[in-house]
Amino acid sequence: MFDSLFILFVLCLNVVICEWLARQPGLHHIGTALLVIVVTAIEANLGIIPTVETPIYEGIFGYVAPFSLFLLLLSVNLKDLRQAGLPMLTMYLIGSVGTIIGVLTSVWAFSAPQTIGTLFYALAGMFTGTYIGGSVNFHAVALHYGVSKAGNLFIASTAADNIMTTLWMIVTLAVPRFLQQRFPRTLPTTQTDTTDKGGGNPYQDSETMTPNDLALLLALGIGSIFLSKQLAAVVPGVPFVLILTTMALVLAQFRAINRLRGSRLLGLFGIYIFLAVIGAYCDIAALLRDGQLAIILFGMILLLVLVHGGILFGIGALFRQDWAVLGIASQANIGGATSALALAKSLGRPDLQLPAVLVGTLGNAIGTYLGILIAELLRTG
């Protein structure tokens, strides 16, 4: 049994270590975000910290991640949507279509009714939901069809999903940078390099803050999360994260709040902790324990995501879209709003932070519906 304080100590220490590693020659271009995922995944698979759900992990997903998302949005200006809103939305929807095609292709290629069993359609719906809008939809579809009670099938599918989510974060961090070097795209004039620590960069990660700034940020964040959860309970059709995003966006238009010091610093730290937990969930042993079933599930997911990525990046390349937009749109599909926001931050694209969250929350809204739709089509087809 792992103590929650020890786990949190390790996660925080990993951020310190990875911040130091990211400043070393040869590792600078990898970035803290990717290093945090990799280092934590190694530790988790060595047994230093758990790879399964714990109260501290649930707390980070339930509170730290949305709180960090809220803080990072406080410095976002609505005019960024003019630069990336429509391209991001279009590419995200293309990515969603790619996910559906990928699901159907993998079900056919792996003869899922025979290899997976009677719940193959539910599994396809779970993968559709999670790779259109994130893990919230995965669990929603699983609960709807009772897959959560299916033991090995649910454990193996969860492990395979977590590993692929980790791997795809690495892919979407690396591929846009590589393609930008080989096939450069003209970047918008508002695009700012967040690695610049100069005083003129409004998105720099080092800030000086006062106790008043900290108290206001905590009050705004905690209060907004509380109100968002209350509203989500009253209006169940509207996702909590979408309500929280709207609150942050409205508050960010007030100059006094927009200029609060420390929002980016605290938000970025929270995102790193969130990414560390993603790495911790990368349980390779759990995937291998189920043998053939695990291999089939991972093969299905791998083919699904490759089809998704091929369609999205292929069409995006054809229309000469910004590589970062393609990577972030894909991450919004595969990982959800918070992962997409973390990727926008890691790629040095503050102008894409708001669009990343918006398409990610759209995925939260439609993922479960589309997942159940695909599951029903396969069950009755």
Residue 190 has pLDDT above 80, yes or no: no
pLDDT recorded at residue 189: 61
pLDDT recorded at residue 192: 47
User: 30-75: per-residue pLDDT in tens?
Assistant: 678 778 988 998 999 999 999 888 899 989 988 998 898 888 888 7
pLDDT recorded at residue 152: 72
pLDDT band at 205 (very low <50, low <70, confident <90, very high): low
Residue 193 has pLDDT above 50, yes or no: no
pLDDT band at 151 (very low <50, low <70, confident <90, very high): low
- The mean pLDDT of 82-91, rounded to a whole number, is 79
pLDDT recorded at residue 321: 94
- What's the chain's average pLDDT? 86
Tokens read off for 329: 């749109």
In the chain, domain spans: 4-186+208-380
pLDDT recorded at residue 201: 43
User: 100-125: per-residue pLDDT in tens?
Assistant: 999 999 999 999 999 998 999 999 99
- The mean pLDDT of 316-321, rounded to a whole number, is 95
- The mean pLDDT of 200-216, rounded to a whole number, is 71
Residue 129 has pLDDT above 90, yes or no: yes
User: 276-291: per-residue pLDDT in tens?
Assistant: 988 888 777 766 776 7
pLDDT recorded at residue 202: 42
User: 241-263: per-residue pLDDT in tens?
Assistant: 778 888 988 898 888 888 888 88
- The mean pLDDT of 201-215, rounded to a whole number, is 71
Residue 123 to residue 126: CA distance in whole angstroms? 5
pLDDT recorded at residue 219: 96
Residue 98 has pLDDT above 60, yes or no: yes
